[in-house]
Structure 1
Amino acid sequence: MIDVTVENFETEVLAASAHVPVLVDFWAPWCGPCKSLGPVLEKLETEYAGRFKLAKIDSDQQQQLAGMFGVRSIPTCMLLMNGQPVDGFTGALPESQLRSFLDKHLPSVAELVANAEEEQALQALAEGDTDTALEKLQHAVMADPANDDARFDYVKLLLQLDRAGDARTAFAPVLAKAAGSRKFGALKAWLDALDFAATGAYDADAEAGFAARIAANKRDFDTRYARARWLMAGQRWTDALDELLEILMRDKGWNDEAARKTCVAVLEIIEPPKPKVAEGQIPPEDPVVASYRRRLSSVVLS
């Protein structure tokens, strides 16, 4: 529990709510119901062990904050997630109703464990420690199999480490989601490219063969697309994007927009994980991804 003022509101409430739900309790020293509600909220914060953060605001001393939330009577509680109020209540509710209110919105213990493991994995990746990152992501997926972000990062890292067999096993439970998910669709495109490259149709001299056929016919889109997928299998992402853009510049609709769709998949794959930020803040954008997104938009809209 923390006492919030105008000075620390942005840090302790808005920014904090990007990582954990924050329950803001507007109270006053003279308010009888506040005195009965406060200790129960503090008890629940302890029992819920990190599933939410309690922030208390003295509405008499912090009238600006009370006005910001439209507080008309106290006690009033507001639950914030990602910088925005998602629910609230007025009055001193009994403990059973408080638990119901919290359980309706708060992440489960499994989700918390998975999120913590995923954050540690991304930190390890930033430090170049792929072994720790892989272990943490595996733990995250095991703790919360429904955590699609953790599974995407886990399968992606397995593929980056050339562990396609393990990646297929980890991807199998969400394969059906690929058609409706940009992230999982991108992973399927990568796996399909690996299957394509493994057919044996292309050997060590494939690069020269592609170049010769394309030189003979700039509009040989089948060969250009084959080369792009071959490059994807070798994780030569920008080369693959360049080849796909060459197709798009000549024929945007070729093969049911296969080039555009594959471009989108590659950009999803090479997009670095973004840190969580408070609502209204924009996470930093990778310059390479940003450049190719602009090029793709320019070609498609031209």
Structure 2
Amino acid sequence: MQPRNMSMSGVVDLAALKAAGEAKAKAEEARAQRQGAGDAAPASPLVIEVTEATFESDVLERSAEVPVVISFWADQAEQSKQLNATLERLAGEYRGRFVLATAEVYANQMLFQQFGVQGVPAVFAVLAGQAMPLFQGSAPEDQITEVLDQLVLVAEQRFGIVGPDVDPGAAEPAEPAPPRPATPQELALSAAHEALDAGDLGGAVQAYTNVLADEPANLEAKLGLAQAQLLSRVQGADPQAVRAAAAGAPGDVDAQLAAADLDLVGGHVEDAFGRLVDTVRRTAGDDRDAARLRLLELFEVIGPDDPRVVAARTALARVLF
């Protein structure tokens, strides 16, 4: 999975309006308490394993004093464990300018859903109680450090939050999550990912369908199924012929569906959505349902929080109602 949203754009809009004053006040109060405690205050760990039960104290309250980076991971996703190792090392190198909180998704489904995580690994930040996405998927270390540098800068300039200078050697080591056997659903999801990576699209579709039969709300399986179905539909297609057919027959729903699939695979997301919204507008009955359902499937591929999906949903609502 490729990195997504590696910039810090939008951070100020997300948090500054309401939280800046409160965050600065909380930060000053926290510093005063630490100074009053003197040398008796224990060193804060740089890496913590967060759970739904400890989220408020470990993340929300702590984010008034130091940026908290949350890494969502899964035991079956080797990529996410490798990313955690990189982030843990960087937490030491940054000497307390941020705290890393790792959250295993299967043990923390509520957090997974509340943050709108589309898959693992996924990395978020919390500043002054305000959550914001950093990136999803693996990324080169120089890109990760660029995002962390921007996060630290925004925390200091906008909220007055500066993490304490912590000697990583003196910080309490994070307790590794105890290993647990994979559930049948987790094994099935891992098999589905492997089939998709290997190009076995039919096997991937069936595997993801099996997962969703037991866990209808599984976000990873929904995304994987939508991707596998899309790739199955465009496999072997002649792009020039598909686009010529769509241009020559605007009323041919099948031709428009095929062209929209190619648009999306080619990265022309707005074109794919616009084509299908127009098709819904021009059609009725079964043809309209077919175009509407295909549009909803493509929304799953991109993700519900993507602004292009939000805009297309609004356009679709205007056409339907």
Question: In which range does the TM-score fall when normalised by the shorter chain?
Answer: 0.3 to 0.5
TM-score for both structures, normalised by structure 2: 0.39
TM-score for both structures, normalised by structure 1: 0.41
Q: Which structure exhibits the higher relative contact order, with contacts defined as CA atoms closer than 8 Å and separated by 6 or more residues? A: 2
The structure having more radius of gyration, on CA atoms, is 1
